[in-house]
Amino acid sequence: MTQGSVDVGGIAIVTSLWSGWNKGLDIRVIAPGALEPMEDSPTKLLVRKALADDGTVKSVADLSGRRVAVAGGPGSGGEYLLAKGLGRGGLTIRNVEPMNIANPDMPLAFENGSVDAAIAGSPFAEQIINAGHASVLETDLTPGLMTVAFVGSGKFVNERADVASRFVLALTEAAGLMQGDDYLAAENLAAYMTYTNSTEDALRSGRPVIYDPEMKIQVAGLADIEKTHRENGRTEYTDPLDLSNVIDERFTEAARKALGK
């Protein structure tokens, strides 16, 4: 993207990106991607069932010193969610032993007892619970959080701003067409089947992906992600980052105006 060979990317906001921005990485957040559900999130903080059943772990606070699995390792989006979950028990990632375990490997890790707890998402959380190996300790860790963002290269947003504006307008229209019952409208299903590697049964039975129909960039949410990773010592800098160098809201504002939102 910085070389200009790619204009836009849909990416998770991870530590390497914050450290890159601190060094002047010329990439801007131009629109939000998927959001965490406001309730009944598929992402959960699980605890090994044996520890829950015998009363060893009754609350998040009891995870102190325990082995907790998270996909992506230090500075990842998963670690951010873990930090938010641990905070409910007055803990930080420094109070536990984080283990970098890929989501598909978590069911086996719970089955053989190699982890005490984990941040797990769909369908792996359900798989672990249904197998009787874990219980839900906490859920809805970050309601409504922007988990993915669309970013544009500085070259793209400055030299081809008209194209960036049309791109974000299309995103905003699409988000509006994917709300409620319309999520599984025939036209939408045809598009999902064309552009995603999935099946109609999976799309109908799975939880809908949530997008903000007004495409508002969550500045406060981004600031909290940056703050959490920085305070956890995962960034290459220690002072708060100026988010005005990270976010470009002119395209989402233009899209809302064009659509009368």
Cα 259 to Cα 163, 172, 181, 213: the distances in Å are 17, 9, 21, 11
Asked if residue 151 has pLDDT above 90, the reply is yes
* pLDDT tens sequence across 171-220: 999 999 998 889 999 999 999 889 887 788 878 877 788 899 999 999 99
Q: Give the lowest-confidence range in 49-53, 107-111, 151-155, 209-213.
A: 209-213
What's residue 161's pLDDT?
97
What would the two tokens of residue 176 be? Answer: 């509006």
Classify burial at 85, counting beta carbons within 10 Å of its beta carbon; exposed 0-12, middle 13-18, buried 19 or more.
buried
* pLDDT tens sequence across 218-240: 999 999 999 999 999 999 999 99
Asked if residue 148 has pLDDT above 80, the reply is yes
DSSP 229-259: HHHTT-SS--SPP-GGGTB--HHHHHHHHHT
Asked if residue 90 has pLDDT above 90, the reply is yes
Mean pLDDT of the chain: 92
More confident residue, 243 or 206: 243
The number of C-alpha atoms within 13 Å of 38 and in the hemisphere containing its C-beta is 2
Gap between the Cα atoms of 235 and 102, Å rounded? 22
Which domains are assigned to the chain? 8-35+146-178+211-258 (3.40.190.10), 44-139 (3.40.190.10)
* pLDDT tens sequence across 23-46: 999 999 999 998 988 888 889 999
What's residue 179's pLDDT?
87
